[in-house]
Chains A and B, each alone.
Chain A
Amino acid sequence: MPGDDRFYCTLQLELVKERQMGQTITQKILAAHCGREQVEAGELISAKLDLVLGNDITAPIAIQEFEKIGAKTVFDPARVALVPDHSTPNKDIKSAQLVKMLREFSKKHGIVNFFEIGRMGIEHTLLPDLGLVGPGDAVIGADSHTCTYGALGAFSTGVGSTDLASAMALGETWFKVPEAIKFVYHGKPNKWISGKDYILHTIGIIGVDGALYSSMEFTGEAIESLEMAGRFTMCNMAIEAGAKNGIIAPDDITMAYVTGRAQRPYTLYKSDSDAVYKQVIDIDVSKLELQVSFPHLPENARPVSEATDIRIDQSVIGSCTNGRIEDLRVAAGILKGRKVHPDVRLVVFPATQEIYLQAINEGLTQIMVEAGAAVSTPTCGPCLGGHMGVLADGERAIATTNRNFVGRMGHVKSEVYLSGPAVAAASAVLGRIGSPDELN
Chain B
Amino acid sequence: MIKGKVHKYGSNVDTDVIIPARYLNTTDPAELASHCMEDIDADFAQNVQEGDIIVAEDNFGCGSSREHAPISIKASGVSIVIANTFARIFYRNSINTGLPILECPEAVAGISNGDEVSVDIETGIITNNTTGKVFTAKAFPPFMQGLIEAGGLINYARERLKQ
Contact = CB atoms under 8 A, between A and B. Distances in A.
Interface of A: 44, 57-58, 60-61, 64-65, 68-71, 86-87, 91-92, 94-95, 98, 142-144, 146, 158-163, 165-166, 169-170, 174, 208-209, 212-213, 239, 242, 244, 297, 384-386, 403, 405-408, 412
A407 B39 CA distance: 7
A44 B141 contact: yes
Interface stretch (B108-116, B127-135, B155-163): B155-163
B93 interface: yes
A209 B59 contact: yes
A70 B161 contact: yes
Contacts, number: 138
B20 interface: yes
B100 interface: no
A248 to B, nearest CB: 20
B16 A403 contact: yes
A179 B3 CA distance: 36
A160 B153 CA distance: 11
Contacts of A384: 16, 21, 24, 64
B62 A166 contact: no
A406 B40 contact: yes
Given A57-B25, A58-B67, A95-B25, 15 more contacts: A60-B27, A71-B157, A91-B25, A142-B67, A144-B89, A159-B65, A160-B65, A162-B153, A162-B154, A209-B62, A385-B20, A403-B64, A405-B14, A406-B39, A407-B17
22 contacts: A44-B141, A44-B143, A69-B161, A70-B158, A70-B161, A91-B25, A94-B26, A95-B25, A143-B64, A160-B66, A160-B96, A163-B92, A163-B96, A166-B153, A170-B161, A209-B12, A242-B62, A384-B64, A385-B20, A385-B22, A405-B17, A405-B63
Interface residues of B, number: 42
B34 interface: no
Contacts of B64: 143-144, 384, 403
Given A158-B89, A209-B58, A403-B63, A163 B153 contact: yes
Contacts of A68: 154, 158
Contact of A65 (B12, B85, B154): B154
B87 A142 contact: no
Given A160-B67, A407-B17, A412 B39 contact: yes
Given A159-B92, A162-B96, A166-B153, A407 B158 contact: no
A75 to B, nearest CB: 10
Given A64-B27, A209-B59, A169 B67 contact: no
